[in-house]
Amino acid sequence: MKNLATCKPSEFVAQTAKIKNAVADWTKLIGLSEIRSTQPNYVRLPEGATAEQRADVIRTNARLKQEQAYKNFNKILDKALVEHPNETLEVLALSCFVEPANVDDHTIDEYLQCIMEMAQCKGVLNFFSLLAQLEQKPTLTV
Angle, in degrees to the nearest 10, between helices 85-95 and 108-119? 70
pLDDT at residue number 24: 87
pLDDT at residue number 31: 93
What is the secondary structure of the chain as a DSSP string? ---TTTS-HHHHHHHHHHHHHHHHHHHHHHTHHHHHT----PPPPPTT--HHHHHHHHHHHHHHHHHHHHHHHHHHHIIIIII-HHHHHHHHHHHTT--GGGGGGS-HHHHHHHHHHHHT-HHHHHHHHHHHHHHTS-GGG-
- Per residue in 123-136, pLDDT (tens digit) is 988 887 777 676 66
Residue 105: burial class (beta carbons within 10 Å; 0-12, 13-18, 19+): exposed
What Rg, from alpha-carbon coordinates, does the chain have? Answer: 19
pLDDT at 142 over 60: no
- Per residue in 23-48, pLDDT (tens digit) is 889 999 999 989 999 999 999 999 99
Domain boundaries defined on the chain: 9-141
Check: CB of residue 6 under 8 Å from CB of residue 118.
no
Check: CB of residue 26 under 8 Å from CB of residue 90.
yes
pLDDT at 140 over 60: no
pLDDT at residue number 70: 96
- Per residue in 61-106, pLDDT (tens digit) is 999 999 999 999 999 999 999 999 999 999 999 999 999 999 999 9
pLDDT at 138 over 90: no
CA angle (13 as vertex; 88, 125 as ends), nearest 5? 55
pLDDT at residue number 45: 93
pLDDT at residue number 128: 78
